[in-house]
Chains A and B, each alone.
Chain A
Amino acid sequence: MTAPFLCHMHKKTEKNAVFHMDFTMVTYSSHLKMIDLGKPNNVGKGGGTLDILKLEKVIKNFGGVQALRDVDLNIRQGSVHGLIGPNGSGKTTTFNVISGVFSPTSGKVIFDGKNITGMTPYEIAKHGIGRTFQIPRVMPRMTVLENVMAGMYLRTSTDIMGTFFHLPFKESKQEKHIRYKAMEFLEFVGLDKSAGRWAGDLVWAEQQTLQIARALAGEPKLLLLDEPTAGMGAEESEFIENLIRRIKANGTTIILIAHDVKLVTRASDIVTAIEFGSKIAEGLPEEVKNNPRVVEAYLGTDE
C-alpha cells in the first residue's frame, strides 16, 4: 500500500533512508501480519446512529473576538463528518475546543457519553480523541518511525524494568512490540519506506501523512483531521481521500476540515458548514453544497 505520490520521492532518498536508519531497527522484517487498526475501540462500522461526540451550545470568545457562537454539533459514530467554512470561521477553533487546547467560554462537549468540557488536552487524548494540525507538527529530530512510536504513548505504559534494566542495546519486549506495530501504521499510510528517515526531512505532504499515522497510533475513537490535504496536489489529495476511507472502514470516526469541496463532498457522510462561528447548514454533502447560504458564504454566488 504505497502512496503513489511518494514513489518518486523514494528514488531520490532511498540511500538517505538507509543512511538515517536507526540501527536498532534493521532487524525489522516485513512478514508480520497486519493487525486490526483501531477495531477494539469501536462498536459499529460505517455510520451507526449513536452520537460519539456532542457539542452543546459551545461559545468561544477571544477577548472581543467571538470565534464560536452557540455551536451545536452531533457526530455519528463511525461516520466521516465534514466541516467547511471560510477562513477564520472557527473550524480550527472547534477542533481546539474538542481537543482541549481551549476550554469553551460556555457550552458543553460530550464525548462517548462523558462530559469532557474543560479537561486538559492530555486527558481528552486519553479518552480517545486524536488530531492532526493544519500546519504539520512533527518531531523533526526523530525518525519517522519514532514519531509514530511517540504516538503510541497512550497505548503503552512506562515499563521501568524494561526501560532501564535491560542490556543497553537490547530492547524491552514492549519496545519491540510497538516498533512492529508502528511499522504497520506506517505501512497503512504508505510511509513504511521512509521509516528510517528524519521526520524533519520529509516534504510537507509526507509530514501531513505522518501526522495522520501518529494520530492513528494512539488508536483514537475519534480522529480530527485539520486540512489534511492542504498544500497537496490532486494525486496526493486522492491518496488522502482513500486513506480516510480506509480509516473509516476500520471503524474510526473522523471529523474532517478541508477547503477542498470536492474532497469533502466525496469523503464525508455528513457535512456541516460554519461561518463567523455559527452553523449555517448541515446535512448530506450534496445538500449542503447546494444550500444557498453556503454557496453565498463559502462557494461564492453565480452572478
Chain B
Amino acid sequence: MEQMSRILKIEELSVYYGQICAIKRINMEVFEGEIVTLIGSNGAGKSTLINTIIGLQKATKGKITFMNEDITKVSTDKVIKRGISVVPEGRGMLASMTVLENLQLGAYHKKNVIEQNLEKVYERFPILYDRRLQKAGTLSGGEQQMLAISRAIMGDPKLILLDEPSLALSPAYVDKIFKILVELKKEGMTILLSEQNAKKALQYSDRGYVLDLGETVLDGKSSDLAGNPAVRSAYLGAD
C-alpha cells in the first residue's frame, strides 16, 4: 500500500472519560481506497476512537490528521464537511423523519449533489425507493442499516467510518452489507469500520487493528490477523 496516499493518520491518541481511560496512545493510518477494520470486544474503545476522529469526543492527547490537515480540535460539523461521513453505532436513524429526509440530510454540506446521488442510491437499494416516504424508525434493522450507509454516501465522502455495521443483523444481511462495502471501495471510497464480528470483517477488509482495553495490541494484513492464533482464540470464537 505504500504507493497509495495516506488519508487518515492517528498519532499517540489518548482519550479519557473522566478518570477512565478509553483509548491509550493509539497510532494508526488509513490509506486511500482500502478497507480497514478495528477489531475489539465490548468496551475496547472502538466507538470512542470513531467519535474522537469526528470531533464528537475530545481527544485528551495526541493528533489526528485527515488529508494532511490536523483535525484534532476541529468541530464535528467541519470535520464532516471536509469529507468524512459516519454510520453511527446503532444506525442513528432520525426515527420520525422519512427515509427521504434522512437521505437528504446525509448531504447537508453538498446540497447540489442530492438529486444525482439519490438516483444512485435508489438504484443500488431499490427498497429504499419504495420506502422513501416511510418513517425511518419503522424500517427493519437491515433496512435501517442500508439507509444509514446510503445516507453516509450521499455527500460523496472521501472516508466513511462505520461503527459496528453488522450490529443486530442476521448473518445474511451481514454478508450483504460487507459486499456493499467492497463495492464502495471499488468506486474509490476509503472505509474504516469497527467490528466485534471479527471473522466477517477480516474476510472483507484489507487491513486490521486489534484493540483491547483501549490499546492496539496487534495490527497487520487481514489475512495475517485471521491466521494469528491469539486473534483466533480471542475474537474468532475458537476456544
Contact = CB atoms under 8 A, between A and B. Distances in A.
B167 A87 contact: yes
A300 B237 contact: yes
A297 B237 contact: no
B19 A300 contact: no
A230 B43 contact: yes
A34 B42 CA distance: 35
A148 B236 CA distance: 40
B227 interface: no
B141 A88 contact: yes
A123 interface: no
Contacts of A230: 42-43
Interface string B27-54: 0000000000000011100000000000
Instruction: Tell me the interface secondary structure of chain B in the complex.
Output: loop
A300 B200 contact: yes
Given A63-B138, A259-B42, A300-B237, A87 B203 contact: no
Interface in B106-131: none
Contacts of A302: 199, 236-238
Interface string B15-26: 000111000000
A296 B171 contact: yes
B43 A231 contact: yes
Contacts of A296: 171
A301 interface: yes
A205 B38 CA distance: 24
A231 B167 CA distance: 17
A92 to B, nearest CB: 12
A65 interface: yes
A250 B79 CA distance: 54
A264 B65 CA distance: 41
B138 A87 contact: no
Nearest to B239: A262
B139 to A, nearest CB: 9
Given A233-B213, A302-B199, A87 B42 contact: no
A63 B171 CA distance: 25
B27 to A, nearest CB: 22
Nearest to A233: B213
A70 B63 CA distance: 51
A86 interface: yes
A209 to B, nearest CB: 15
A88 B237 CA distance: 21
B168 A89 contact: yes
B48 to A, nearest CB: 11
A73 interface: no
A64 interface: yes
B199 A203 contact: no
Interface string A253-264: 000000111000
Nearest to A85: B168
B18 A203 contact: yes
Given A203-B19, A300-B199, A231 B171 contact: no
Given A299-B237, A302-B199, A275 B167 contact: no
Contacts of B171: 296-297, 300-301
A60 B221 CA distance: 44
21 contacts: A63-B138, A64-B138, A65-B138, A86-B167, A203-B18, A203-B20, A230-B42, A230-B43, A232-B43, A233-B43, A261-B237, A276-B170, A297-B170, A297-B171, A299-B237, A300-B236, A300-B237, A301-B171, A301-B199, A302-B199, A302-B238
Given A232-B43, A296-B171, A301-B171, 4 more contacts: A88-B141, A203-B20, A300-B171, A302-B199
Interface of B: 18-20, 41-43, 90, 138, 141, 167-171, 197, 199-200, 203, 213, 236-238
